[in-house]
Each structure stands twice: as structure tokens, then as C-alpha cells.
Structure 1
Amino acid sequence: MRVLLSTYGSRGDVQPLAGLAVRLRELGAEVRVCAPADEEFTKLLAGVGVELVPVGPSARALTKAGPVPSTLPQRAAAVIASQLDAVTPAAEGCDVLVATGMISAAAGALSVAEKLGIPSVSVTFQQLTLPSADRPPLAYPGRPLPPEVTDNRALWDLDAQNVNALFGEALNTNRASIGLPPVDDVRDYVIGDRPWLATDPALDPWQETPDLDVVQTGAWFLRDERPLPDGLVAFLDAGEPPVYVGFGSMPLHGSKDPAQVAIEAVRAQGRRVLLGRGWADLSLIDDQDDCFAVGDVSHQALFGRVAAVVHHGGAGTTTTATRAGTPQVVVPQMADQPYWAGRVAELGIGAAHDGPTPAFESLSASLATALAPETRARATAVARTIRTDGATVAAKLLLDSIGRETPSVSA
């Protein structure tokens, strides 16, 4: 059995697919992953022995360039074209295709599956792109939702219109180039009849809706057994657990010296600081021995050894910190990150920072909440409810669907 996993986006889009790929291989499947060929993604997949098929330009370069609303349709056209170019040969002979990542990338990959007659499943790592009468949709850059409209169903109708305006021409032009008919509703095409939601039910509970048959598998973890670097271990062993500050794949547009703000706020709490450089390129501000900076390390090994995690609110980082039982401060930057910040606050396992730009006063207040003993106790309790078998569940569902007359995944 051959499975193709396709995505385009940040590490939060690639790492879960690596976790699924490992489980699929353990069950006897042949797996490859289509993803951006950024060095960290190449190393990540090579480290677990999974073939990477490069697609599109550098995701890091695209992210650091920042969102320019007027260029979204042009970017979408380029991303879809790159999907057709890379995914088509990679998908030849495959039994099923899994598509996730940016909506334009998923639309391109699903179009390839349609062209080749391969069953496919659409996956999301957050529920905010799945229509629900219980909440409004996310707004796209340059297309804010009208504040006077409060009915969620009306807002979801506007969302569909916005998706078509941004991505419809780009998708249909590329589909025509491979002999496929146009798509009338891009969002519904990408979601499909039975989308998968790869998030933890305790952290991200899905409310059943009559309009959509969602399969929630649990989050897809990749076991990260890398040992922590010796220098980092020595720093951790030298004193009380530090506060980790890292923003993953977020470049922090508009933030003024976020490392200095974070270090000063953490020091004011009487804590040591551990900086994760990430795509924001955070760096130390002085040579005091209460601070240490690291690059790409195993969060699974690290988060259990820190007092709190200050991060951007990506789904993967939020879930890993929750699983570790470590209090969090979420400084949301964009997209689904305010939602994860809200979930952390609602569960009592940390604090949601007000806005994307940390200041000394605001970050200090959030840290005080996260470092309180009752927050630690609550985080420890919630950690026991987090499932660790999501990738295994998904792998078994996927392989069980292969060969059925009517697959349980969306075709």
C-alpha cells in the first residue's frame, strides 16, 4: 500500500505528517511526504527515514516576507501550480492521498488526486476552518468580517465568498490546465464530505453539527527521542527550572525587540530564561548566566523541565506543552493562534496574552498567572487527559479505508 501525504506550510504543518508517516510505515505502508524543502523539514523527515518530495518555494522565506493581502491570489496560483508539478508524479501509483496545509496547497493536492482517480482525505490541525454555527470563521488578511453581522451562518457564507474571491480563479485556472472542470465552492471542495480533525478532544473539543461529518482522530505526535544538547542540560541542571520563550515559525512582525521584553519580564518574576531562537531569530541581550539560547531541540524532552512555556500558540506547541503538564503563556500572532490562547486560558493551564506584541507590563501579568501554583496543578491534571495515540488511530483508519468500495475518507 502506498500513501502520499501532502502539505505546504510551517513546521506545524509538516511535523504531524511525519508522525503519521512513521505510524503508517509501522503498519506496512510505503509513505512519502510532499512538503517545502526547507532545511529543517528535510532534516526532520530524513531523521525518521521518510522520503521528502520537495514542493514550492521556501516556507520560511514566504512566512518571513509577511502577508500582503493584495498578493494572496498570485501567491495562491503559484502554490497550486507547484502542487500540480510536484504532487502529480509523486502520487502516481498511490492508494490514497492525504492533503493538509494552506488552503491553496490542499486544493492543488486534492485536484491531483481527483485527476488520477485516487481516494483522498482532507485534514486540518485546527477546527476554525470547519463551518459551525457555534462560532464565526477566521478572517483573511485584507478581508475583515463586518462587525455588524453577528449571525454565524451568515458569516460562514461570507467566508465562502472570500475564499472563492481569493483562491477561485487561481485554482480553476490550474485545474483547467490538467483537464479538470472548475470548482464552484473552493472551501467546500477542500473540506470535502468527511474531513479529519487531527487535534486532541480534551484540548480542542469538536461540537457535532448536522452539516458536517468530522472525524476527530486526536493530535498526531511524532516521538522526538533526540537527547537535549549537553550545554542545555548543563544550564537546566544549574538552577531552578527556567521559563522557555520561543515563537516557532512566527517572525513576529511589528514586535520591537521581543527577546529583551521577554527576558526582562521573566527576570522580574525571579526566573531564569531559556530562549528558543526560531524563525524570529531571538537572541540573548547580555552575557548574564541566567539566560541561555537554543535552536531546534526536542520540545517533548524539554517542556517537562521548564517552569512555563511562552509561545505563539501554534497547535503543535500548545498540544506539546499541554501534554507535558507545563503552564503556558500564549502570545498569539495570527490565524488560529488566538483560539489556542483562549483554550489555554479557559482550561486554566496558562494565560492568553492580550494581543501579538508583548510589552513588559502585559507579559509580566501573564507570567504571574502562568507561574501561580494553582495553574501548575491544573496543567498537571489536564495533561493526564491528553491522548497520545492520534497518529496511530489515523494510520489505521487510513489503511482500513483502502480497498473499500466506498472509502471512509473524502474522495
Structure 2
Amino acid sequence: MHVVLSTYDSRGGVEPLIGLAVRLQGHGVRVTVCAPADDPQRFAAAGVALLPVGDPVTAPKRGTIKERAAALIAEQFAKLPAADLILATGILPAVLGARSVAELRGIPYVYAAFQPNSLPSPHHAPITRPGVTPAGTDNRTLWKQDADAANDLFRDVLNAERAGHGLPPVAEVRDYGFTELPWLATDSLLGPWPEPSELEVIQTGTWILPDEGPLADEVENFLDDGEPPVYVGFGSMPMGEAGRAAVEAVRAQGHRVILSRGWAGRGDESGLAGLGDESGLAGLGDEARRGGLGADDCLVIGEASHPALFRRVAAVVHHGGSGTTHTAARAGAPQVIVPHSGDQPYWASRVTALGIGASGDSLETALKTALSPETAATAAAVSAAMFADGAAAAAEMLIEEYRQ
């Protein structure tokens, strides 16, 4: 059995596919991940085959939204290899191309989302698409506007490419990409699918890449040299002044800091800008060591195993991506979320509702909440109640349903 996992997304949307690929390969399934090649070493370290599709996410964007969408759709047709199944995630143009390839080849197709508010529901509003100003507050109306916006942006370029392969036109492109039975790769406690619902969803649990590697000596030494510090990192989001403000807020609470550079030195432009829900993939570079951020109470780090690190910190301050939110919750670490865009406000609301952290305009107030004994106890209880391994469950479901 050969499974193609296709996406175009930043690292937070790529790593879950690596986690699923590892679990599938453990069952003897051949897997190819088709994704942007921003971080090929992550695939190599996990023993997963990467087929680069699309420009690197961190490369400067070129052309209009429709031109970039057309190129990405065309690449799905040109590059996705022969397989027994295609599972797609990520921004809509890549998803539309992947499903069209599956249709052309007559093979099964599965769509998976990494946050509930990517899928239509009367219980929440959609993530706003580029160039769209929502009108009104009724969620059903907003989802209809979202479908119309997807058609305006991508229907013409999708159908032009499909016509070249002898495929009929698609009328409602968003629903075509999502299918009538999408998968939701989130934990049912942290990111539940709201019921009652007009859309049937298969919830698998979150797909986490197993990453229990040892921490660097400097990190171990810093952790052992005092009380648990607070981790600050905004992943693929721009650090800017938010990093400095977070460090100073942590210091004001009397805690040391481990500050992650994120995607340091990888450019300020994102190929996702205007195509999806993420943008500004810039990390914090070595300049963080200047201006007081590299003092004895603040360690600036690069790559580190989040599962291993988060179990040993007092709290995690981050941007609110699905992967980081789930990893911190599984580690039992209280969280402070500083949301930027996309699904991040949703995860901030969930962390607050569960009592495992806080978000809001005041970092100082949010940190006080997160660092309280009550929040630590709740975070530990939620961690114990979370589903253990969604990637393993999803792999077993795919094999049971589709292996011939």
C-alpha cells in the first residue's frame, strides 16, 4: 500500500503529516509526503520520504493570489506520484489539486483539518480568507460568504487545470476539497467538534510527531540551574517586539526564560500570504542575545524537543498554533497564548475555557493566571485525560478502511 500525504503549509501544518507517516510506516505502509521543502532535515530525521511540491513557504511570494493558486494546483497534477490513497491538508488550492488528482486516478481521497474552525459549523465562524471582509455575525451566513470567497478566488483556476485533464468543472470548490466526511485531527477534549452538527466529522485525535530526543547540554544545564523557567516561542510567526515584551513580563513574575528563535534567518515573506491563513514566517535571530535578552536568566535556543522541554517548564508562552497548543497540553504545561491570526484565537479561547492557561491584552495578568497553582493542577488533569496518540489511531483507520 502506498499512501501520499499532501499539504502546502508552514511547519505547524507539516509536522502532523510526518507523525502520521511514521505511524503508517510502522505498519509496513509506503508513504510519500508532498510538501514544501523548508525543513527537509525533519523528514530525513524521521525516516520519511519528502517530495517537494510548491515553493518553500519561506520564499518571497510571486504573482497574484490566483496565479500562485494556479501554479500550486498544477504542481499537484504534475508531481503527486502514483498511489493507493491521497490524504490532503493545508491551504485550499493544494487540497483542491490533490483531490482532483485522486479523482483523475480513481483512488480514495481523505481531507483532514487541524482545527475545528476550519470546517463549516453553525457553532463557530470561519477563518477569514484573504481580501474578504465578513458581513454580519450569523455563523451560517459567514460560512456561506466563505464558500463564495473560495469560489471567487480558486474556482476558475481549478477548473481550467481540470479541463486540461478531461475532468468536469467543480461548482463549490471548498466543499469539494473538504468532502462530505472530513477528518479532524484534534484532541476531543482540547479541540472538540461541536454538536449537534450538520456536517459529519471523523475525529482522530491530534497527530504528533514522536520527538523525545535528548535536550542539548546547555538546555539541560539551564534547567538544572534553578526553578523551572518559562518557555517563550512563537514558532513560524514573527517574533518582533512581542518576544521582548514576553521576556520582560516573565521576568517581572520572578521567573527565568527559555526563548526560542523560531524560524530564524528564513526570511520575512511567506508563500502562504494571500493564499491561506498563515503569514509572516520570520523567527527571532541572534540579535535576541543583544539588548538584555541573553542575560543569565534568559537562554536563547534553536531546535529542541518540545515534548521533552515542555514537561520541565513552569509555563509555555506561544502564538497558539494547533501543534504547540496540543504539545503543551499533553505535557501538562500551563499556557499563555498571544494569538496573531488564523486558528490561533480559537486555541486561545479553548485554553482559557479549560482553565489550563490564559490569553488577553495584558501579558502580566495572563502570566499570573498561568503560573498559579490552580492552573498548574488543571493543566496536569487535562494532560492525563487527553487521547494518547491520534496519529496511531488515524494510521490504523486508514489501513483498515483502504488497504486492499
Deviations 1:147-198 (A, max 9, x none): xx23222221111101111111221122222222211001100110211001
Distance (whole Å) between structure 1 residues aligned to residue 193 and residue 295 of structure 2: 46
2:125 pairs, out of 110, 129, 136, with: 136
Match of 2:251 in 1: 267
Report whether the alignment pairs 1:319 with 2:344: no
Q: Distance in 1 between matches of 2:29 and 2:15?
A: 18
Alignment check: 8 A CA contact 1:351 1:369 kept:
yes
State the shift of 1:81 in Å.
Answer: 2.0
Q: Does 1:307 align with 2:291?
A: no
Offset of 1:399 from its aligned partner? Answer: 1.0
Say which of 162, 168, 173 aligns to 1:175. Answer: 162
Return the offset for 1:210. Answer: 5.1
Residue of structure 2 equivalent to 1:336: 343
Matches within 5 A, 1:361-380: 362-380=362-380
Alignment of 1:70-81 (within 5 A): 71-81=64-74
1:208 Cα deviation after fit? 3.6
**Is 1:104 the equivalent of 2:93?**
yes
| Distance of 2:124 and 2:243 partners within structure 1 | 34
**SS state at 1:84 partner:** helix
**2:332 and 2:379 in contact (8 A); partners too:** yes
Whether 1:390 and 2:390 are equivalent positions in the alignment is yes
Q: Is the 8 A contact 1:221 1:388 kept in 2?
A: no
Aligned to 1:281: 283
Q: Percent identity?
A: 55
Paired residue for 2:215, among 228, 231, 234? 228
In structure 2, the gaps of 5 or more residues are: 264-281
Alignment equivalent of 2:54, drawn from 53, 56, 60: 56
Aligned-partner residue type, residue 44 of structure 2: A
Query: Equivalents in 2 of 1:308, 1:156: separation in Å?
Result: 35
- The 2-side partners of 1:129 and 1:267 are apart by 36
CA drift of 1:369 comes to: 1.2
* Aligned twin of 1:150: 137
1:247 is aligned to: 234
Match of 2:311, SS? helix
How many angstroms does 1:393 deviate by? 1.1
Q: Is residue 8 from structure 1 mapped to residue 15 from structure 2 by the alignment?
A: no
SS at 1:60's partner residue? coil
Deviations 1:254-282 (A, max 9, x none): x5x23321221111111111111013432
Which amino acid letter does the alignment assign opposite residue 14 of structure 1? Answer: V
- Kindly provide the CA deviation profile for residues 377-403 of structure 1, in whole angstroms up to 9, marking residues without a partner as x: 111111111112211111111111125
Task: Answer yes or no: is the 8 Å Cα contact 1:4–1:31 preserved in 2.
Answer: yes
RMSD over equivalenced CA pairs, Å: 1.7
**SS in structure 1 opposite 2:59?**
helix
Question: What pairs with 1:19-98 in structure 2 (closer than 5 Å)?
Answer: 19-38=19-38, 40=39, 42-61=40-59, 71-87=64-80, 90=81, 92=82, 94-98=83-87
Which moves more between the two structures, 42-51 or 204-213? 204-213
2:186 counterpart (193, 196, 199): 199
Q: Where does structure 1 differ by over 4 angstroms across 4 or more consecutive aligned residues?
A: none
- The answer to whether the 8 A contact 1:60-1:249 is kept is no
Contact 1:326 1:380 in 2 (8 A): yes
Contact 2:116 2:192 in 1 (8 A): no
Q: Residue type of the partner of 1:83?
A: Q
Q: 1:164 to 1:351 in 2, by over 3 A?
A: same
1:161 corresponding residue in structure 2: 148
Contact 1:10 1:249 in 2 (8 A): yes
Q: Structure 2: how far apart are the matches of 1:297 and 1:123? A: 27
Query: Match of 2:254, as an amino acid?
Result: G
1:209 positional shift: 4.3
In structure 2, the residue matched to 1:350 is 357
Note if contact 2:121-2:197 (Cα within 8 Å) is conserved in structure 1: no
Name structure 1 gaps, 5 residues minimum.
Answer: 355-361, 405-411
- Is 1:217–2:204 an aligned residue pair? yes
Mapped contact 1:276–1:294 kept (Cα < 8 A)? yes
3-state SS of paired residue (1:293)? strand
